[in-house]
Amino acid sequence: MSEVLEQDEIDSLLNAISESCNGDKVKMPNNEIRRIKIYDFKRPDKFTKEQIREMSLLFESVCRTMTTYFSAKLRSLCHFKVASVDQLTYEEFLRSIPTPTTICNALWAGEKVSLEIDPSITREFLYVMYEGKAARMEQDLNESDFTQEQQDEIMTMLGGIFHYSRINIDLTDIEQFMMKTIAVRPMFRFITSAFNAAYRRNVFGSERQSDIPQKNILPKPSHIRMENNPQFVQSASPTEMVVLVTIESKIGDEDGMINVCLPYPFVKNNMIDKNILNKEPVTHNEYGLIAEPGNAAVSLGQFHINDGKTPAIRDLIPLDTLAGEPVDLIDLERNEIFAKGEVVVIDENFGVRITEVLNPPQNADADICCEPFGPTIKSGNAYARLGQFTIREDSKFEEGTVVELDTIAGMPTDLVRKCETKPFARGEIVVIDERFGLRVTELCNS
């Protein structure tokens, strides 16, 4: 017979799993205890904790509106609340939902978004609507001049429509149209209203549209298409990061989940850039550096760019390093690679845990081979600068040392020519056939 765990043993096991997911605790050079975890470039964090928290608050407002509206519309007890807000890949989202299900794809402000409703909630929506219509039809027939025999014949003809079943099968075209009308369009309308109210509050200091000369910043979603199979709905590429808002729903006695999937381009272009959500903390000045630039940097990889050539937006630049390989720590004053390490996240900032020391900066004259970082070394004359840090007189670098960088995980990465400090472009990190690359998102003034 298998052993039954006590409650305290279950709690200890869950705590251990939670801590392993959140990362390890380490002591930083200033004796501060920080939590770090290995950074997964194939599943990068695109949003800060503050932005995720703001998204949760926005959808809490949406849930309150949905609770009031659907309780009155369906004449049944309804309740909606935010269960979680997570960032994951679109492929992970598709794998997490059942088949068949009710999933909608809509075009919203030039980007595609998805809304998925649990089959049990879908059936309850339709059941309440059908049963209500059947009751009203029966009442109208009783008050009409039809004989009882005629009434029975009419109810028999309409019985397939009004006596609805909760069996989980694919929705018909009529049922899909009804779901769009009674559920999907109102949900999108409430989400749009909440986003526009947040825009007016953040930009103009008032949520009331009558107080503001400019109208709504976001239009209503259009071209809503409904499917029963999630694989037929492609709102983003499989590896694209999305924000998944999961809403715990209850209609009558039925419980289920509603998932709102917002791809990164939609959130970036229509929420962060338009001040519906707060932007990332600004750590760069006009030259693309922190106010007090560090004397050391971390190179994610190198590439070659011809003299006088400038990359274009959305250009894909392959680097010379494989995803998972150690990154280079560069002493900018000596122009040398003095250590290698693995990329980690310290709270929300990028960092590096040193795995190999070639030549510590304070031992510059030691008889240890140090790899030069000149313009002709390796395979390129430019590199992707993950971030910078400062080497001080009392800094000690050894295997296991954790260095915190000046950049927030998920922020654009600088593209810099060797022996220069000012970036000529920035881009987002991608993985191309197990090799690092950068997709250019911004060109810097020369």
Q: Please tell me the predicted confidence (pLDDT) of residue 290.
A: 38
| CA separation, residue 85 to residues 33, 189, 416 (Å) | 27, 20, 35
Question: Is residue 82's pLDDT more than 70?
Answer: yes
Which tops the pLDDT comparison, 72 or 306?
72
pLDDT digits (tens, 9 = 90+) for 140-154: 667 777 787 776 666
Nearest to 432, CA basis, from 320, 309, 341, 298:
320
Q: Is 39 left (phi over 0), alpha (psi -120 to 50) or beta?
A: beta
Helices (H), 143-258: 148-157, 159-162, 173-179, 185-204
Nearest to 289, CA basis, from 382, 375, 385, 430:
385
Question: Is residue 337's pLDDT more than 50?
Answer: yes
Distance CA 341, CA 328 (A): 7
Residue 112: which pLDDT band, with cuts at 50, 70 and 90?
very high
Query: Can you give the length of the chain in residues?
Result: 446
CB 30 within 8 A of CB 38: no
Q: Please tell me the predicted confidence (pLDDT) of residue 192.
A: 93
Lowest-confidence region among 40-44, 220-224, 322-326, 394-398: 40-44
Which tops the pLDDT comparison, 23 or 215?
215
Distance CA 22, CA 349 (A): 14
Q: Please tell me the predicted confidence (pLDDT) of residue 117.
A: 93
Distance CA 74, CA 313 (A): 49
Quick one: tokens of 395? 């800094």
How many CB atoms sit inside 10 A of residue 390's CB?
13
Most confident region among 145-154, 180-189, 222-231 by mean pLDDT: 180-189
Angle at 419 between CA 416 and CA 422, to 5 degrees: 40
Most confident region among 32-41, 87-96, 205-214, 327-336 by mean pLDDT: 87-96
Lowest-confidence region among 174-178, 250-254, 439-443: 174-178
Residue 287: which pLDDT band, with cuts at 50, 70 and 90?
very low
**pTM of the predicted protein model:** 0.69
Question: Is residue 101's pLDDT more than 50?
Answer: yes
Residue 397: which pLDDT band, with cuts at 50, 70 and 90?
confident
Distance CA 330, CA 388 (A): 9
Residue 17: which pLDDT band, with cuts at 50, 70 and 90?
low
Question: Is residue 78's pLDDT more than 50?
Answer: yes
Nearest to 261, CA basis, from 376, 410, 115:
115
Which residues 6+ apart lie within 8 Å of 91 measured at CB? 238, 239
Residue 282 burial (CB < 10 Å; 0-12/13-18/19+)?
A: exposed
Ordered domains of the chain (ranges, CATH):
7-38 (no CATH), 49-272 (3.40.1550.10), 296-443 (no CATH)
Question: Is residue 23's pLDDT more than 90?
Answer: no
Distance CA 295, CA 302 (A): 19
Residue 274: which pLDDT band, with cuts at 50, 70 and 90?
confident
Quick one: tokens of 311? 């990359």
Helices (H), 329-382: none
Q: Please tell me the predicted confidence (pLDDT) of residue 162.
A: 44
Distance CA 314, CA 47 (A): 20
